[in-house]
A = this chain, B = another copy of it.
């Protein structure tokens, strides 16, 4: 299987530069462990509130004129939907986004506000077939959320930026779900700074990737198990392609508990002035509560996204007497 290369990552970086925010590394005063000073890579500050814009924009920017005329399609109720909608609008490409009717109105509105055509289907199970109907009817190009080399290369630009900003980084903490983000970042860091350890972080309740990597073959956890975690962005599983990248370049995976994720969200809001969604707070939860399981040294935690339901955010931040 061909893996994404450093050249792919560098080409992606050039392609996406006009569309994404060059996020800085933020030093954290709140980290308690002096032997492991912590920086944050705040991808929640991307225009759509998550790193997904990088991969989606890279995939769209590579389309030829013919494909651009036919348009793109994605099925997602999460950050990938908004990423494709936003990137398509920037590139002047028609985007169809297939979403279940039960998707919160605010997410449907946000996706429409970026100019995308939202196609509602009755259930999540119908999303994929509805998307393929649009592919068949219009010749539209399907943009997958993680299972594609262009998407992996786009997410990996985060790794290039981390090494550029801190050539002495020792540890990078990345959430793992479908594995596109972790694959891209681990590939970048392995190429540019092989002594740096990239550690994946999963919720205990959706730790299929850890199980799979330890066994050397993908583990399949039923969706109803994975759906238990509050980290709604971390309920997917690696594909063959992302699993191969993770095996090649990821150092290890640690897991965090649900209450640790909530506490990390509160710490990020109060001490780093960042709103993170549960999935985006998972690496910081590892830094705060699992330091003994991590290699020591200069540590960067990727805050992958900040699209959190306002009621959940208010609940996490509620000051209890």
Contacts and interface: CB of A to CB of B under 8 A. Distances in A.
A316 B25 CA distance: 28
A113 B310 CA distance: 32
Contacts of A313: 269-270, 317
Nearest to A317: B314
B21 A47 contact: no
A44 interface: yes
Given A29-B48, A270-B310, 17 more contacts: A21-B25, A24-B45, A26-B45, A26-B47, A29-B113, A42-B45, A45-B272, A269-B269, A270-B313, A273-B274, A273-B306, A274-B275, A275-B275, A310-B317, A310-B319, A313-B317, A314-B319
Contact of A319 (B24, B42, B114, B311): B311
Number of copies: 2
Contacts of A114: 29
A318 interface: yes
By size class, the interface of chain A is: 20 to 34
A275 B44 CA distance: 12
B29 A47 contact: yes
Interface of A: 21-27, 29, 42, 44-45, 47-49, 86, 110, 113-114, 269-270, 272-276, 306-307, 310-311, 313-314, 317-319
A270 B25 CA distance: 22
A86 to B, nearest CB: 8
Contact of A314 (B21, B47, B274, B318): B318
A48 B310 CA distance: 26
Contact of A24 (B23, B29, B44, B49): B23
Contacts of A48: 29
